[in-house]
Amino acid sequence: MNRKFKTAGAPHFPPQTTVTRVMLQVLIALIPAIAAHVWFFGPGILFQITLAVGFAVGFEAMMLKARHQPVRLFLGDLSAVLTAVLFALCIPPLAPWWISLIGMLFAIVVAKHLYGGLGNNLFNPAMVGYVVVLISFPQAMTAWLPPVAIAPVPLGIMDTLAAILGGKLPGDLTWDAITGATPLDLIRTSVASGEMISEARSSPVFGDFGGLGWEWIANWYAVGGIWLLWRRVIGWHVPVTMIGSVLLLGLIAWLTDPGSNPSPLQHVFSGALMIGAFFIATDPVSGCASTRGRLIFGAGVGIITLVIRRWGGYPDGVAFAVLLMNMAAPLIDRYTRPRIFGR
């Protein structure tokens, strides 16, 4: 009559969510922005994503094998895929294939697995990969296509593939002919050469409040991000403080000297700020864990981004700002522990 049962620790509920589900939701949230990217800049980004995911999964599997970890289990968590997609979204659509290779080598092997793999990395892998290729191959990494709408020569699918895989451009086109500066680049350049922002603003790559095309991609990032917020995959702290600090400081700068400072909206809707605020600075692993820590983290990323954009040598500073705050995260976590109940 007596019946035996298996025992297990409390609580006795099925798992509410899984790491895989979390990562999957982030990937889903990126879809609108990817679609917008294709719409505005052509299909290059799709090839870049494919390449980067391929390399990332390859490196991930290799490292898991080398570290004697269950390969299937960890490949299934999709974190490497997410890293790859975010990386691909940061590089120019026509970047040669080996950019992805080297970026993923540093992202997955160096920044992730040398630290012990999922959950242990101190730096945001995608951003490590991006910054490595950015400083190593500035030429390839600054070859941005202008939006299809104003491109002098729109590239077809085969042309794009040939450019990525073979470095060949159709006909007698040169890189200089088909690539152009990004809006932030123009702002940075005009500041460097002592011109007024308004002069740069006359370039066709500027849209209504950000870069032409870029502003819409940024919007779609925000939509995806808000969906993630609603799904509680990310918290509001990082995006709000990051965008908030950029808006606030950008506004102050703009009001004091509109000639050499772009409007705060320009800041928010150009470059990597939106993807950074919702998808990159929110990386839980390399960010702060405590609530106050996340507030500081977000604000820090925003402020450093602005400082680099305004005074630094790079047109955009999101990636650097994220890495810099990654550095500070353990220290911040140490000193922003929440007050324990009753203490």
Ligand X SMILES: Cc1cc2nc3c(=O)[nH]c(=O)nc-3n(C[C@H](O)[C@H](O)[C@H](O)COP(=O)(O)O)c2cc1C
Ligand Y SMILES: Cc1cc2nc3c(=O)[nH]c(=O)nc-3n(C[C@H](O)[C@H](O)[C@H](O)CO)c2cc1C
Binding to ligand X, residues 149-178 (CB under 6 A): 176
Give the interface segment with ligand X, choosing from 33-41, 183-191, 200-208, 264-272 (CB under 6 A). Answer: 183-191
Q: State which H helix or E strand residue 307 sits in.
A: helix 291-311
Are 63 and 111 spatial neighbours (Cβ–Cβ below 8 Å)? Answer: no
**153 in Cβ contact with 215 (< 8 Å):** no
Nearer of residues 26 and 329 to ligand Y, judged by Cβ: 26
22 sits near ligand Y (criterion: CB under 6 A): yes
Q: Identify the bridge partners of residue 180 per DSSP, sorted by sequence position.
A: 144
Q: What is the amino acid identity at position 312?
A: G
Rounded to the nearest whole angstrom, what is the least distance from the CB of residue 210 to another protein in the complex? 22
Q: Which is nearer to ligand X, 11 or 14 (CB)?
A: 11
- Which residues from 110-129 bind ligand Y, rule CB under 6 A? 112, 118-119, 121, 124-126
Q: How many residues bind ligand Y (CB under 6 A)?
A: 23
- Residue 82 in contact with ligand Y, rule: CB under 6 A: yes
Least distance to ligand Y from the beta carbon of 139, Å?
25
* Site stretch for ligand X (CB under 6 A), options 30-38, 62-70, 181-189, 205-213: 181-189
Interface with ligand Y includes 88 (CB under 6 A)? no
Residue recorded with tokens 């009001």 = 255
Q: Are 274 and 218 within 8 A, CB to CB? A: yes
83 binds, among ligand X, ligand Y, another protein, none (CB under 5 to 8 A by kind): ligand Y
> How far apart (Å, rounded) are the C-alpha atoms in residues 265 and 267?
5
Q: In angstroms, what is the minimal distance from the CB of 36 to another protein? A: 25
DSSP reduced 3-state for 180: strand
Exposure letters 295-311 (e unless 16+ CB within 10 A, then b):
bbbbbbbbbbbbebbbe
Residue number of the CB closest to ligand X reads 181
Restricted to residues 46-75, the positions that interact with ligand Y (CB under 6 A) are: none
The CB-of-39 to another protein minimum distance in angstroms stands at 25
Residue from 116, 119, 138, 204 in contact with ligand X (CB under 6 A): 138
Q: Is 211 helix (H, G, I), strand (E, B) or coil?
A: strand
Question: Any contact of residue 329 with ligand Y (CB under 6 A)?
Answer: no
- The reply on whether position 160 binds ligand Y by CB under 6 A is no
Candidates 246, 252, 248, 257; CA nearest to 196 is: 257
Which part of the chain contacts ligand X (CB under 6 A), choosing from 24-32, 93-101, 184-192, 250-258? 184-192
CB within 8 A of 37, min separation 6: which ones? Answer: 45, 89, 93, 217
Could you say whether residue 185 binds ligand X (CB under 6 A)?
yes
**By the rule CB under 6 A, 189 interacts with ligand X:** yes
Does 181 help bind ligand X (rule: CB under 6 A)? Answer: yes
Question: Cβ of residue 51: shortest distance to ligand X, in angstroms?
Answer: 21
Closest approach of Cβ 207 to ligand Y, in Å?
A: 25
User: In Å, what is the CA distance from 104 to each residue of 131, 165, 243?
Assistant: 11, 16, 28
CA distance 213 to 231: 27
**Torsion angle in degrees (nearest 10) through CA of 304, 84, 128, 283:** 50
Contact status, residue 243 vs residue 269, Cβ threshold 8 Å: no
For position 301 contacting ligand Y by CB under 6 A, the verdict is no
- For residues 121, 123, 127, 130, the Cα torsion angle rounded to the nearest 10 degrees is -90
Residues that bind ligand Y (CB under 6 A): 22-23, 26, 79, 82-83, 86, 112, 118-119, 121, 124-126, 233-234, 279-280, 282-286
Under the rule (CB under 6 A), what is the footprint of ligand X? 138, 142, 176, 181, 185, 188-189, 314-315
